[in-house]
């Protein structure tokens, strides 16, 4: 409806609701060329749902029945995409727990952070941004409960069970120095059988006036995806700071080869007010039955706890 040559509130509200539903359902159609706009949208995709109550409130104030009815479209799409994550099912059986944390290289309290990770009683503790200066603190706190350790560069894995086949994983984008070492692989002799565990930290992304700068991260994800594809392990976990959500198509070469947890948003970043989960626990040949974000530590990320069923 048009009033005095201008669209009415009905038209604005209906158009806004249909637009939100369209962005949710067709996010993969948003171009990802200059500025990585597609990846940017997908990083915060669940938050498009915030637009629905805003549109609904305006519709009530303007007494727009058409606007209220139109809001049902984005609600239905959001529930179809994210309802399973919102309505968390009762705890499922699991064999192994793993806590994953970017502990921050400027963390002023590594001992406190290590104690928080130990308190989860997870059998596996994976960390990133582990500095040489902070490493003794983590070893002192975790060494007794997790006597098996693998460290490469700034990533580390502490395990309650024996480790074997420990080695580095080269995920350096072109032009990065050899000192950039952010990946390792180890085979864990866990209860129920062996599982290959990758601990990784992909390059950071930057948001600026020209959009999302994620080329290095995307290249690193492709390198890791190729390594995962060639890994003969029947059971495999990838844990780490991927600097992206599982919806972000920039991580597609990696995430397309792995299964994500079916429930739990578990937003992990930034720690003070988390809006996205960029710290991941993903599997192949295993089932990550549950993932949850824990209380903040001295890092700018929150730890993420995953429960894993070895099939």
Q: What is the pLDDT of residues 105-143, one digit of tens each?
A: 999 999 999 999 999 999 999 999 999 999 999 999 999
Give CA–CA dist 214/39, Å, rounded.
Answer: 9
Q: Given this model, what pLDDT does residue 6 score?
A: 45
**Helix %, strand %, coil % of the chain (to 5):** 35, 25, 40
Low-confidence stretches of the chain (pLDDT beneath 50): 1, 3-6
286-293 vs 279-284, strand pairing mode? unpaired
* 196-249 pLDDT tens trace: 999 999 999 987 776 788 999 999 999 999 999 999 999 999 999 999 999 999
- Return the CATH number of 96-310, one of 3.40.718.10, 3.10.20.30, 3.60.20.10, 3.60.10.10: 3.60.10.10
Give CA–CA dist 161/192, Å, rounded.
Answer: 12
Peptide bond into 182 cis (omega under 30): no
Give CA–CA dist 97/160, Å, rounded.
Answer: 11
Q: Given this model, what pLDDT does residue 7 score?
A: 56
Helix axes 9-25, 51-61, angle to 10 degrees: 170
Domain ranges of the chain: 2-86, 96-310
């Amino acid at each position: 409806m048009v009033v005095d040559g201008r669209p009415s509130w009905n038209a604005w509200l209906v158009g806004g609701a249909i637009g939100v539903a369209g962005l949710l359902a067709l996010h993969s159609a948003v171009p990802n060329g200059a500025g990585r706009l597609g990846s940017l949208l997908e990083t915060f995709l669940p938050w498009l749902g915030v637009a629905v109550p805003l549109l609904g409130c305006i519709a009530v104030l303007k007494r727009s029945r058409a606007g209220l009815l139109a809001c049902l479209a984005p609600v239905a799409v959001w529930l179809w995409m994210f309802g399973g994550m919102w309505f968390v099912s009762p705890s499922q059986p699991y064999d192994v727990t793993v806590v994953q944390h970017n502990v921050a290289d400027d963390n002023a309290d590594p001992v406190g952070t290590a104690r928080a990770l130990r308190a989860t009683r997870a059998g596996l503790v994976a960390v990133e941004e582990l500095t040489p200066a902070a490493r003794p603190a983590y070893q002192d706190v975790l060494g007794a409960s997790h006597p098996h350790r693998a460290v490469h560069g700034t990533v580390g894995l502490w395990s309650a069970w024996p480790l074997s086949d420990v080695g580095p994983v080269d995920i350096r984008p072109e032009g990065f120095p050899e000192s950039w070492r952010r990946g390792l692989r180890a085979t864990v002799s866990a209860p129920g059988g062996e599982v290959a565990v990758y601990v990784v930290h992909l390059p950071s992304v930057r948001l600026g006036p020209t959009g999302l700068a994620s080329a290095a991260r995307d290249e690193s994800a492709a390198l890791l995806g190729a390594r995962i594809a060639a890994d003969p392990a029947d059971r495999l976990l990838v844990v780490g700071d991927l600097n992206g959500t599982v919806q972000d198509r920039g991580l597609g070469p990696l995430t397309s080869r792995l299964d994500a947890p079916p429930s739990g948003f578990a937003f992990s970043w930034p720690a003070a007010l988390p809006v996205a989960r960029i710290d991941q626990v993903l599997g192949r040949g295993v089932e990550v039955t549950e993932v949850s974000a824990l209380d903040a530590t001295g890092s700018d990320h929150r730890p993420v706890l995953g429960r894993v069923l070895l099939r």
